[in-house]
C-alpha cells in the first residue's frame, strides 16, 4: 500500500510532502483508514497543533464521525479517533479526490520512494 500527504499553509501553498509504503493485503477501506492514521501520527510527531486534514476517503471520514464498528476497520477508526483526541485542534474532513490529487499522486509514487518526506519550513500554528 502507498500513502501520501501534502501539507499546505493557511494560504494553500504547499510547504511539505510525505510518502510511506507499507506491505500487506487489506481492503480498500482498511488501507484508506491506515493512511489517515499514518498521516495523523506523522502530524503528532511533528507537534502540529492546528490542522485541517482533508481525506478523499469518505467511508473513513464518515466512520470517524460515528465510530462503532468492531471489525478490523473499526479498530483502525478507533485509533484515528484516539489520535484526533490527542491533537489539540485537528479537523478531519472529506474532500473529493479531484481536490486531493497531489496526495493521490504521492501515494502512487510511494512505491518508488518509500518513507520519503520533504522537511517542512512552515510555522506549526
Q: What is the mean pLDDT of the chain?
A: 80
35/55 Cα distance (integer angstroms): 9
Contact of 72 with 28, CB cutoff 8 Å: no
* pLDDT, tens digit (0-9, with 9 covering 90-100), for 3-38: 888 888 888 888 778 888 888 888 888 999 999 998
Residue 125 reports pLDDT greater than 70: no
Distance CA 113, CA 75 (A): 28
pLDDT band at residue 95 using 50, 70 and 90 as cut-offs: confident
Overall average pLDDT of the 90-100 stretch: 79
| pLDDT(124) > 60 | no
Question: Residue 4: helix, strand or coil by DSSP?
Answer: strand
Burial status of residue 109 (CB atoms within 10 A of its CB: 0-12, 13-18, 19 or more): middle
Q: pLDDT tens-digit profile of 38-50? A: 888 888 888 887 8
Q: What is the pTM of this model?
A: 0.72
As a whole-number percent, the residues of the chain with pLDDT over 90 amount to: 6
114, burial (CB in 10 Å: exposed 0-12, middle 13-18, buried 19+): middle
Domains and CATH numbers, the chain: 2-109 (3.30.420.10)
Name beta bridge partners: 3. Answer: 20
CA proximity to 20, closest of 114, 87, 94: 114
Question: Residue 103: how many CB atoms within 10 A of its CB?
Answer: 23
Amino acid at each position: 500500500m502507498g500513502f501520501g500527504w501534502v501539507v499546505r499553509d493557511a494560504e494553500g501553498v504547499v510547504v511539505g510532502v510525505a510518502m510511506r509504503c507499507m506491505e500487506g493485503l487489506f481492503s480498500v477501506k482498511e488501507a484508506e483508514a491506515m493512511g489517515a492514521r499514518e498521516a495523523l501520527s506523522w502530524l503528532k510527531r511533528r507537534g502540529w497543533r492546528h490542522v485541517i486534514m482533508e481525506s478523499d476517503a469518505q467511508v473513513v471520514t464518515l466512520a470517524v464521525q460515528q465510530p462503532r464498528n468492531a471489525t478490523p476497520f473499526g479498530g483502525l477508526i478507533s485509533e484515528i479517533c484516539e489520535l484526533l483526541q490527542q491533537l489539540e485542534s485537528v479537523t478531519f474532513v472529506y474532500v473529493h479526490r479531484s481536490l486531493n490529487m497531489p496526495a493521490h499522486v504521492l501515494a502512487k509514487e510511494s512505491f518508488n520512494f518509500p518513507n520519503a518526506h520533504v522537511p517542512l519550513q512552515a510555522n506549526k500554528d
